[in-house]
Structure 1
Amino acid sequence: MSTVPIPFSEPPWLMGLPSAYYNESHKKWQKTCRALVDKLLMPEGGEWEKAGDVPTDLYQKFVSANFLIPNLSAPLPVKWLHKLGIHELPGGLKVEDFDYLHTLIYVDEMARTGSLGPSGAVTTGLAFGLPPILKFGDQQLQERFVPDLITGRKRICIAITEPEAGSDVSNIVTTATKSECGKYFIVNGTKKWITNGLWSDYASMAVRTGGPGPSGLSMLVVPLLDTPGVTMRRIKVGGQTAAGTTFMELDNVCVPIANLIGLEGHGMKYVMQNFNHERLTISISVNRISRVAIAAVFAYCLKREAFGKTLMEQPVVRHRLAKCGAELEAHWAWIEQFTYCMTKLSEEEANKELGGLTALAKAQAGRVVEICASTAVLLFGGNGYTRSGMGEIAERIYREVPGARIPGGSEDVMLDLAIRQLVKNFQRKKKELEVELERSGRSSKL
């Protein structure tokens, strides 16, 4: 390390403190990720976000560096990667050795630009659009789509949200009705706030194939680019401006029956399991941009003078920074512990035990970035209210706050979901214990 890092500028393990979580593979992976992010995103990421778009060749640069595959949830689809001749990730990391701590490192490094836009422009679609096909699609469906998507020849996004159905996924109204010939689904409806949609050849889309409620939902691979009946336009949003947020209109779009993901009527289950990975990665990236904000203003307070002393010499300033640091590092410690659990539990166990906690971690991420970003803007003063100059990073991150608190499950919905699932798990375990005690002739006082 050639310089002394600003307090809060890096997670504790990268500040030189011991950690029980990371082995040599993780440490090497972090250096690899940092070097690639420094090359591909850091030099111009801020300018891309300011302009509201990324270069058209950025995705292919990530493909060429074999730096998109780590977007997928661990464990990686090793059989498919080997079949396509992909045995290692950058830095020599074998695909079969990739675990959720490698995921954490990758997502954390990708957010170092201080914006979720540039990284989201290349990662979000693949990260959340491909897993439903890999996890729930039959072999025939995978054979048709996985090779082109993993190798970057085609792009995909996830299309769940609608103008009237955001966090309330069970209220989706986009319909997919079977054609008279029985060979197609005819899709009609709208999708809104779809990240990467503009550039995607396909969408893993939630549609209504049956009656009202969750049991009527299914998932389809819907073709987008150059498809009759599909209209897409960019939506201008406050944060993540470079990520290609899209409004989609679907007017009698013909989708082959064979594009059904998994079983008809099981769409709600597939959507909810996909959300767990999304919410964890949101938590990680939002923690990092919170860190960028507070580290930037920490450095500013060390040198900015007012009333004859630096801002850092003002007790009220130190008090504000301390509160932010406590929230930031407590959230990060929880994320690390949470991610470690992901390396030890099966996918089924993780979905059962950690689903509610994932929602809670995601909700807490929004609260952390709110206090860190607002404090940074306040301490930067007029500079933090300006979209250029020394405080522009704080102003930009402050605009990311709603994007942290709403997409992936709105904050209040996440808080409620967390408690409902924790209660459900408690009741299930209580019942299991009572059955076990009854079999052994004992009684439970729970």
Structure 2
Amino acid sequence: MSKEVQIPFSEPSWLMGLPSAYYNDSHRKWQKTCRALVDELLMPNAHEWEMQGDVPPNLFSKFAAANFLIPNLPAPLPVAWLHKLHIPTLPGGLAIEDFDYMHTLIYVDEMARTGSSGPPGAVTTGMAFGVPPILKFGSQELQERFVPDLLTGRKRICIAITEPGAGSDVGNIQTTAERTEDGKSFLVNGMKKWITNGIWSDYASMAVRTGGPGPSGLSMLVVPLLNTPGVTMRRIKVGGQTSAGTTLITLEDVLVPVANLIGAEGAGMRYIMQNFNHERLTICISVNRLARVALSSALEYCMRREAFGKTLVEQPVVRHRLAKCGAQLEAHWAWMEQFTYSMTVLSEADANRELGGLTALAKAQAGSVLEVCASTAVLLFGGNGYTKGGQGAVAEKIFREIPGARIPGGSEDVMLDLAIRQLVKNFRAKTAELEKSRSRAVKL
């Protein structure tokens, strides 16, 4: 039995002792491994680092040394590459071949227990979203040049899509990559903004315009950053995840070999959209945990804080607020479990087709759940929830994460629209295919 009774809503139901069909012994062992490492590497100092706006320079190397960056990659893991690099297992002895998206869910959820997107994001975001395009779409030669250093943490990378004038509207990207006269290189010019981890990154998997206007003119390119002529980077101060290294990147005639092209020229939009699915799913999971930390902290506070002669939790209006938040939180988490389980069963092609729109919808819903839970936590903490420090600091901190949940990775309104468009597209395609099959049957 557990040595202590857990606060309601403080853990997902499967960690509160309730049965679940989604998790096997491998997942349960992995959860214990992740919790121990997060408790060691992040939890003791995460709040202080976020308050200071930075993490120690050696935090990334500690994660790399423990092979605790690898779980950021989409499942299945790049098994051939990891064996080639003599990484047959993850922490706790988990075989890389056994890693699935339920392991991803556990890893991301445990990392977010810090109650901030900052310290976890400082070490994970680049690996999670910058490496996959190279692994999925890059040539073998491109992978040979970059993958070994990136998977072992000797070098760092970020994903660079967003620009001052093009965020969720990816097709409007203006950064250009024009071929030099000898045809061997690109000259890259433009700006990338709000790039997480950019300030520390040796490279960026960057969206650039190699062709005409619109999505068909986009490509992806591995662009060198640190110590590269023509590249200027500076930190951007943002409201939440202040320690994650949000960066403005300016590129002026940056010379990049044509051999750094990821996949086919002009196919960048497809690569970007597929990469977004992994990003949005991990955002959903981490944001749900932030909401959980806020709500359970507020509930714990309400059980001991007295006002008007009794504890806050004895006030009907307080219980009503907590109940409404809890219902939304747990419903979203149940969706995430079912959603993630589907990822372990479906092929990548089927998952991209069937779950792409739903991923966008789940990401939008995650932001709404965080908003109601964090806002309620601040109200219930009262003045303490408005204070950067003390017993309500966790609520104040998580409240500042709300815009970071609703905007990056695809802003909320765009996600809602994308979800319905994708669902309608799938419906029409399946209806047309069904009509064709019926027509063929009649002819036979």
TM-score normalised to structure 1 length: 0.99
Match of 1:347 in 2: 348
Establish whether residue 128 from structure 1 lines up as the match of residue 163 from structure 2: no
1:80 and 2:87 correspond: no
CA RMSD, Structure 1 to Structure 2 (Å):
0.8
Tell me the equivalent position of 1:11. Answer: 12
**Alignment partners' CA distance in 2, 1:66 and 1:128:** 17
* Aligned counterpart, 1:105: 106
1:216 match:
217
The residue correspondences of 1:161-310 to structure 2 (distance < 5 A) are 161-310=162-311
Task: Tell me the distance in 1 between the aligned counterparts of 2:19 and 2:200.
Answer: 42
Whole-angstrom distance in 2 between the partners of 1:182 and 1:424 = 39
Q: Residues of 2 paired with 1:397 and 1:85: CA distance?
A: 39
Q: What is the TM-score of this pair, normalised by structure 2?
A: 0.99
Structure 1: how far apart are the matches of 2:152 and 2:126? 14
Shift, 1:148, TM fit: 0.4
**Could you list the runs of 5+ residues in structure 1 that have no partner in the other structure?**
none
Which residue is 1:389 aligned to? 390
**Separation (CA, whole Å) in 2 of partners of 1:131 and 1:238:** 28
Give distance in 2, aligned partners of 1:71 and 1:354: 19
Mapped to 2, the partners of 1:86 and 1:387 lie a distance apart of 42
Partner of 1:56: 57
Q: Match for residue 42 of structure 2? A: 41
Q: Report the equivalent of 1:360.
A: 361
- Residue deviations 1:349-397, cap 9 Å, x none? 0000000000000000000000000000000000000001000000000
Q: Deviations over 1:410-434 (max 9, x none)?
A: 0000000000000000000000100
Map 1:389-408 onto structure 2 (within 5 A): 389-408=390-409
Give the corresponding residue for 1:419: 420
CA distance in 2, matches of 1:106, 1:65: 14
Residue 181 (structure 1) shift: 1.2
SS in 2 for 1:326: helix
Distance (Å, rounded) in 1 between the aligned partners of 2:187 and 2:64: 33
Q: Distance in 2 between matches of 1:316 and 1:51?
A: 36
Residues 117-175 of structure 1, C-alpha deviations (whole Å, 9 max, x = no match): 00000000010000000000000000000000001100000000000000000000000
Q: 2: CA distance between counterparts of 1:105 and 1:229?
A: 40
For 1:367 and 1:231, the matched residues in 2 are separated by 36
Equivalent position amino acid for 2:71 in 1: P
In 1, Cα distance between equivalents of 2:382 and 2:154: 46
Q: Deviations over 1:55-109 (max 9, x none)?
A: 0000000011110000000000000001111100000000000000000000000
Counterparts of 1:92 and 1:211, CA distance in 2: 49
Amino acid at match of 2:255: C
Q: Residue 2 of structure 1: CA displacement?
A: 1.1
Q: Distance in 2 between matches of 1:137 and 1:435?
A: 37
3-state DSSP of counterpart to 1:212 = coil
Show CA shifts across 1:309-332 (max 9, x none).
Answer: 000000000000000000000000
- 2: distance between equivalents of 1:128 and 1:81? 18
Measure how far apart 1:441 and its partner are: 1.1
Q: Give the distance between the partners of 2:186 and 2:408, measured in 1 at CA.
A: 28
Listed as ranges, the gaps of 5+ residues in structure 2 are none
Secondary structure at the aligned position of 1:4 is classed as: coil
- For 2:338, the equivalent position in structure 1 comes to 337
The SS at the match of 2:114 is: coil
Is 2:58 aligned against 1:67?
Answer: no
| Aligned counterparts of 1:48 and 1:330: Cα–Cα separation in 2 | 32
The residue that corresponds to 2:152 in the other structure is 151
What is the rounded CA distance, in whole Å, between the counterparts of 2:21 and 2:216 in structure 1?
A: 43
SS of residue paired to 1:112: helix
Structure-1 residue corresponding to 2:138: 137
Deviations 1:12-35 (A, max 9, x none): 000000000000000000000000
CA distance in structure 1 between the aligned counterparts of 2:155 and 2:201, rounded to whole angstroms: 7
- Percent sequence identity is 78
Q: Residue 440 of structure 1 aligns to a residue in which SS?
A: helix
Quote the Cα distance in structure 2 between the aligned partners of 1:297 and 1:165. 38
Deviation at residue 436 of structure 1 after TM alignment: 0.7
Number of residue pairs the alignment of both structures matches: 443
Q: Which amino acid aligns with 1:113?
A: T
Q: Deviations over 1:286-335 (max 9, x none)?
A: 00000000000000000000000000000000000000000000000000
